[in-house]
């Protein structure tokens, strides 16, 4: 319904400004209202989930221009999620929405996934928090997975608006207690329904046997030992119950400073070098205590640094690398590039995309992380040195860098089971504070730093550059990042193994007689059907060929190009004075003293790095050997699938990487078919787990460059160009041609 106006035939009389503009036609409201009454769309609730508040007659806007098209339905807030129940949900073709999450629907937002809430008052957008005196006519929710939801509340009853807006603000932004998380309600209600995936062989590292197995796998059991001194968390609550230390280290030393100042083993290389990490000792002002600490560290250092057999290089990540504040600030700027409210905003920011992207520094931080991991890899691989990572608590950047190094050096970590085991070992058991870093309890915004997301972004760079080396896909990484905010899995909702065991009843007998059995995120059958899970496995993965005993002889190390690198002068045995300086360097860092530079000169370090880096990239890639990323300027890219998947304007229908993948899979099917015909005389049916993936791609009605998340786009999107004078776009068929015309106009 538009306001009345007079339109002059020849000019002269101006039409008065409309007094009211309706964004929905009345007949649409009445039609939808009738359908809702007839269908009564039901809300799917998980075990233990309870409805807190709801509102009807809510219009969910479709993100397209400023035309404000939408879908009518109910908005519901539970103790697990915010859900919108539209009356057109049944119209979706289930065959086309193949990649459907069984826990989170298309219009569901878990409470932990809410980033910011905005209200629109008289066309002005304002941040909502606390108690409101006035309630908005429009609600905008920005999510941590970068979705943007917009709800019109003009047609909703006033009391329902108050309830739903207040309820959403309170349950997403108010500080919470750990035991009040939905994680525990769900675990209690689903206690008898817990079914583990028999195919899930992820090593959880919660037993001594797991650590012994990892030591044996990496041949680290010759120099390192798994210890149970912290069983029951009597020594240190931030360390796991079991971990690995150098064999010469007496176990009583672990108890001396509650696990601080102890070199903890991460991984061993094929040449015998190892990656270690260590947390700093508490800062002390008393000189007597400082001397005791210094003597303790000196003795510790002599157990891991025994030249010329064992040489240790220290990497101080607290004072000579990134700060958590840098990561937090960069991502805060970066994510704003993708939280787009409408098409007009998208095209407005598109003009200054590169400058905004550069000013965020997010890609530069990714580059610095990859470069640091390559530097450490060079020390271990080319110089045969042990590397000791230092950090205040060894639970943030230590987790990040040690995981990247192992991903580059150990092909086992590039399989799906190996990658999941790596995250369990370095992040979950390594004491990364997921609860604080993801701000799940909303208790301290300053502690929220996306360190794990930064790691996944670094992994994506490797996956994007070397697809055949990884058994998992970028879709796997994307859904893993989404799982950070789904509170039915315990994996990412605790700060330490001790905190988890204490709160599920495994510590102490006063809590409950039977410990809760929490779900792990690695059981992908909880979220996806088998057909959808095929998109998590890379059909182009080059599996390592199985060799018989005769072939294995003389091929113990399959790292020919690494081992053939020319020796550098840093490999020669240094003077004794260097080791004294290195020891002092370690002690100063662990005692909390800030230093101005690394032991090795930056020029020498840069020369070694460049020689190692260039030599590796000059030779063919061995997908089951060392794997290094390109880190030059344009090689570090935006993870398009994760960051752009909800923006229709950023999609290429029928194009992008998915089109290339589809063609490759078709070729693989043909080759497989020919192979089966060749083997037919032997009556052998070759197994092909990747066979379903081409089927998924082929049967999709509308492939997009952001498949499988942008499978269905029911509205065509045309850019509202911000520069006046440019002609409007015509049909979609002429889109490419007119884009070229716009480019030509821009050059004039």
pLDDT digits (tens, 9 = 90+) for 458-510: 999 999 999 999 999 999 999 999 999 999 999 999 999 999 999 987 654 44
Give the Cα separation of 130 and 118 in Å (integer): 12
For the residues 659-673, what does the mean pLDDT come to? 79
169 shares its domain with 214: no
Average pLDDT over residues 178-192: 91
pLDDT of 264:
96
pLDDT-derived band of residue 515, with 50, 70 and 90 as boundaries? Answer: confident
d(CA 206, CA 214): 12
Judge if 377 and 524 occupy the same domain.
yes
pLDDT at 372 over 60: yes
Burial group, residue 461, by CB count within 10 angstroms (0-12, 13-18, 19+): buried
Domain assignment of residue 256, yes or no: yes
Separation CA 489–CA 574 (nearest Å)? 50
- pLDDT, position 285: 66
Neighbours of 138 (CB within 10 A): 19
Low-confidence winner among 122-136, 343-357, 714-728, 732-746 (lowest mean pLDDT) = 714-728
Span 388-399, average pLDDT: 96
What residues contact 747, with CB distance under 8 A and at least 6 apart? Answer: none
Residue 39 is assigned to a structural domain of this protein: no
Q: How far apart are CA 93 and CA 90, in angstroms?
A: 8
Residues 272, 413 within the same domain: yes
Mean pLDDT value of segment 36-54: 82
Indicate if 131 and 220 belong to the same structural domain. Answer: no
Average pLDDT of the residues in 143-163: 96
Look at residue 158 and tell me whether its pLDDT is greater than 90: yes
Residue 196: inside a domain, yes or no?
no
pLDDT at 743 over 90: no
For the cut 80, the answer to whether the pLDDT of residue 737 exceeds it is no
3-class secondary structure per residue, 222-270: CCEEEECCCCCCCCCCCCCCCEEEECCCCHHHHHHCCCCCCCEEEEECC
DSSP of 272-309 = S-EEEEEEPPPP---HHHHHHHHHHHHHHHHHH-BTTT
Assess whether pLDDT exceeds 60 at residue 25: no
Q: How far apart are CA 84 and CA 557, in angstroms?
A: 56
Query: Comparing C-alpha atoms, which of 479, 476, 466, 475 is closest to residue 411?
Result: 466
- For 395, residues 6+ apart whose C-beta sits below 8 A from its C-beta are 238, 279, 430, 431, 432, 433
Q: What is the pLDDT of residue 586?
A: 54
In this structure, the answer to whether residues 314 and 364 fall within a common structural domain is: yes
Place of tokens 């043909």: 670
pLDDT at 537 over 90: yes
- Report yes or no: 233 and 241 within 8 Å, Cβ to Cβ: yes
Taking residue 506's Cβ as centre, other Cβ atoms within 10 Å add up to 13
Domain count for the chain: 2
Q: In sequence order, which residues have a C-beta less than 8 Å from that of residue 95 and are 6 or more positions away?
A: 699
Shortest CA distance to 316 belongs to which of 260, 376, 273, 236? 376
Residues 76 and 131 in one domain: yes
Q: pLDDT value at position 695?
A: 55
User: What is the pLDDT, as a whole number, of residue 673?
Assistant: 84
pLDDT band for 178, please (50, 70, 90 cuts). Answer: very high
**Coil, strand or helix at 196:** coil
- Confidence label for 332 from pLDDT (cuts 50, 70 and 90): very high
Q: Which domain holds residue 123?
A: 51-91+98-174
Confidence class for position 247, pLDDT limits 50, 70, 90: very high
Helix (H, G, I), strand (E, B) or coil at 653: strand
Q: What is the pLDDT of residue 525?
A: 95
* Closest-CA residue to 477 (of 624, 368, 640, 702): 640
Domain of residue 111, CATH code: 2.30.29.30
Concatenate the DSSP letters of all residues of 412-444 into one string: GGGSHHHHHHHHIIIIITTT--HHHHTTTT-S-
702 within a domain of the structure (yes/no): no
Q: Are 259 and 235 in contact (CB under 8 A)?
A: yes
* 515 vs 142, residue with greater confidence: 142
Confidence grade of residue 714 (pLDDT, cut at 50, 70, 90):
very low
Q: What is the pLDDT of residues 90-122, one digit of tens each?
A: 544 444 556 899 999 999 999 999 999 999 999
Task: Judge whether residue 726 has pLDDT over 70.
Answer: no
Same domain, 329 and 280: yes
**Domain presence at residue 476:** yes
Provide mean pLDDT across the span 664-669: 80
The position carrying tokens 């059909």 is: 539
DSSP string, 67-127: T--EEEEEEEEESSEEEEEETTGGGS-TTT--S--SSS-TTEEEGGGEEEEEEEETTEEEE
For 128-142, 156-170, 546-560, which range has the lowest pLDDT when averaged over its residues? 546-560
The pLDDT value recorded for residue 723 is 39
Look at residue 633 in the predicted model and tell me its pLDDT.
87
Same domain, 522 and 415: yes
Q: What is the pLDDT of residue 89?
A: 59
pLDDT for the residue numbered 302: 86
For residue 698, the model assigns a pLDDT of 55
SS3 66: coil
Same domain for 293 and 348: yes
pLDDT at 239 over 80: yes
Is 530 a member of any domain? Answer: yes
Question: At which of 157, 174, 191 does a domain end?
Answer: 174
245 and 155 belong to one structural domain: no
221 and 321 housed in the same domain: yes
% of the chain at pLDDT higher than 70: 74
pLDDT in tens, 264-318: 999 999 999 999 999 998 877 678 888 888 888 888 888 888 887 789 999 999 9
Mean pLDDT of 662-670: 80
Instruction: Provide, rounded to the nearest whole percent, the portion of the chain with pLDDT above 90.
Output: 57
Q: Is 234 domain-assigned? A: yes
Asked, for residue 654, whether it belongs to a domain, the answer is no
> Does position 190 have pLDDT exceeding 80, yes or no?
yes
70 and 219 assigned to the same domain: no
Provide the mean pLDDT of the chain. Answer: 81
Between these two residues, 731 and 381, which has the higher pLDDT value? 381
């Amino acid at each position: 319904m538009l306001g009345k106006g007079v339109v002059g035939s020849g000019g002269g009389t101006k039409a008065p400004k409309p007094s009211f503009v309706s964004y929905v036609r009345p007949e649409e409201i009445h039609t939808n209202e009738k359908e809702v009454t007839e269908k009564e769309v039901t809300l799917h609730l998980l075990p233990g989930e309870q409805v807190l508040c709801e509102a009807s007659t809510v219009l969910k806007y479709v993100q397209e221009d400023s035309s404000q098209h939408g879908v009518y339905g109910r908005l519901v807030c539970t103790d697990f999620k915010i859900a919108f129940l539209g009356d057109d949900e049944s119209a979706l073709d289930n065959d086309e929405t193949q990649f459907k999450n069984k826990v989170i629907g298309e219009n569901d937002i878990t409470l932990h996934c809410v980033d910011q809430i905005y209200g629109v008052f008289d066309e002005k957008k304002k941040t909502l928090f606390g108690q409101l005196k006035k309630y908005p006519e429009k609600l905008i929710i920005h999510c941590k997975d970068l979705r943007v939801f917009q709800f019109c509340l003009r047609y909703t009853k006033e009391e329902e608006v108050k309830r739903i807006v207040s309820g959403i603000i309170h349950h997403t932004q108010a500080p919470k207690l750990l035991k009040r998380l939905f994680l525990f309600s769900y675990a209690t209600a689903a206690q008898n329904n817990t079914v583990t995936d028999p195919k899930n062989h992820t090593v959880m590292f919660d037993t001594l046997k797991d650590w012994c197995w990892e030591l044996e796998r990496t041949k680290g059991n010759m120099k390192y030992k798994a210890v149970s001194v912290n069983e029951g968390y009597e020594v240190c609550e931030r360390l796991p119950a079991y971990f690995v230390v150098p064999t010469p280290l007496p176990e009583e030393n672990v108890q001396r400073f509650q696990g601080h100042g102890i070199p903890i083993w991460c991984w061993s290389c094929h040449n015998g070098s190892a990656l270690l990490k260590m947390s700093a000792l508490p800062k002390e002002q008393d000189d007597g205590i400082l001397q005791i600490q210094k003597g303790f560290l000196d003795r510790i250092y002599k157990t891991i640094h025994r030249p010329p057999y064992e040489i240790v290089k220290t990497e101080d990540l607290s004072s000579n690398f990134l700060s958590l504040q840098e990561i937090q600030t960069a991502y805060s700027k970066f994510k704003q590039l993708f939280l787009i409210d409408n098409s007009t905003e998208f095209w407005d920011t598109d003009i200054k995309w590169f400058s905004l992207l550069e000013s965020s520094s997010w890609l530069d931080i990714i580059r610095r992380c990859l470069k640091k991991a390559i530097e450490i890899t060079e020390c271990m691989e080319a110089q045969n040195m042990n590397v000791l990572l230092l950090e205040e608590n060894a639970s943030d950047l230590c987790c990040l860098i040690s995981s990247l190094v192992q991903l580059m050096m150990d092909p086992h970590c590039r399989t799906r089971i190996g990658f999941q085991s790596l995250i369990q070992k370095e992040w979950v058991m390594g004491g990364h504070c997921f609860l604080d870093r993801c701000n799940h309890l909303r208790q301290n915004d300053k502690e929220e730093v996306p360190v794990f997301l930064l790691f996944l972004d670094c992994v994506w760079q490797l996956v994007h550059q070397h697809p055949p080396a990884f058994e998992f896909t970028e879709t796997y990484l994307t859904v893993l990042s989404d799982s950070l905010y789904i509170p039915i899995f315990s994996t990412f909702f605790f700060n330490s193994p001790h905190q988890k065991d204490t709160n599920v009843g495994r510590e102490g007998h006063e809590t409950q007689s039977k410990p809760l059995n929490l779900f792990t995120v690695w059981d992908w059958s909880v979220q996806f059907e088998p057909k959808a899970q095929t998109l998590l496995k890379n059909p182009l993965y080059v599996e390592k060929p199985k060799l018989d005993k005769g072939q294995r002889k003389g091929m113990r190390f399959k790292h020919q190009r690494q081992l053939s690198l020319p020796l550098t002068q840093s490999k020669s045995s240094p003077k004794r004075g260097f080791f004294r300086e290195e020891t002092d360097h370690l002690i100063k860092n662990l005692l909390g003293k800030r230093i101005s530079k690394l032991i090795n000169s930056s020029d020498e370090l840069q020369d070694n790095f460049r020689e190692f880096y260039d030599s590796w990239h000059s030779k063919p890639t061995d997908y089951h050997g060392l794997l290094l990323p390109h880190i030059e300027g344009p090689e570090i890219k935006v993870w398009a699938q994760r960051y752009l998947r909800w923006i229709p304007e950023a999609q290429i229908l029928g194009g992008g990487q998915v089109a290339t993948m589809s063609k490759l899979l078709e070729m693989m099917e043909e080759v497989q078919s020919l192979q089966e015909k060749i083997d037919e005389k032997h009556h052998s049916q070759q197994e092909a787990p990747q066979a379903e993936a081409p089927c998924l791609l082929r049967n999709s009605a509308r492939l997009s460059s952001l498949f499988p998340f942008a499978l269905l786009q029911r509205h065509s999107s045309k850019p509202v160009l911000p520069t006046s004078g440019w002609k409007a776009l015509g049909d979609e068929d002429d889109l490419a041609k007119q884009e070229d015309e716009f480019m030509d106009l821009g050059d004039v």
